Structures are given as C-alpha cells and as structure tokens.
Amino acid sequence: MIGLILALFLIVVFAGAVYLVRAVWRDYVRLDYDDKEFQKRVATLNDSQSHRLTDMQLITPSDPDIAWSQMVRRGLRRRSQRYRKASRL
C-alpha cells in the first residue's frame, strides 16, 4: 500500500516537474511582434553587409576581369531583387 502511494506521489511530482519545465521553456522561447521585427531587420542588415568586400580584398589589387564579373553579378542580383520586390506589390 505504501509502495502504491509512493509511486503515485512520484508520478505526480514528475508530471508537475515536466509541466513546470514546459511552461518556463514556452515563456523563454516565445517572441513578441517587436522581437520578430527586430530579428528581421538584423537579418536584412547582415545579408546586405555580407556582400561587402573584406579587408584583405581591399588591400590586394584586384584583377580587372574579376572586378568586372563581380560588378555584373551584383547588377544581376540587384535586378532580380528589384523584380522580386515589384512582384510582391
């Protein structure tokens, strides 16, 4: 009889601990609207800064052919971004 009571008590304590951990985790993970917007802005900023030249690329002289191909790639990327933005409207 005491074993059954002890087992039920342990099950209730374990279920309570699981519920408590789940509730705390849900509050920890939940983001409100402002946090989501901030994360979108930071992701956009990181994406735009990732296309900049590194310090090593600025120090070393670049080959004109490489510079031309990079300029063409960036122009194509901007054109496709403009097309995507226009298609969203």
Nearest-CA neighbor of 68 among 80, 76, 79?
A: 76
Q: Residue 12 and residue 74: Cα distance in Å, rounded?
A: 61
pTM exceeds 0.75 = no
* Sign, CA torsion 18/19/23/26: positive
Q: Residue 63 and residue 66: Cα distance in Å, rounded?
A: 5
Decide which of 65 and 59 is more confident. Answer: 65
Mean of all residue pLDDT scores within the chain? 79
Please state the rounded mean pLDDT for residues 60-66: 75
- Rounded to 10 degrees, the C-alpha dihedral 54/58/60/61 comes to 130
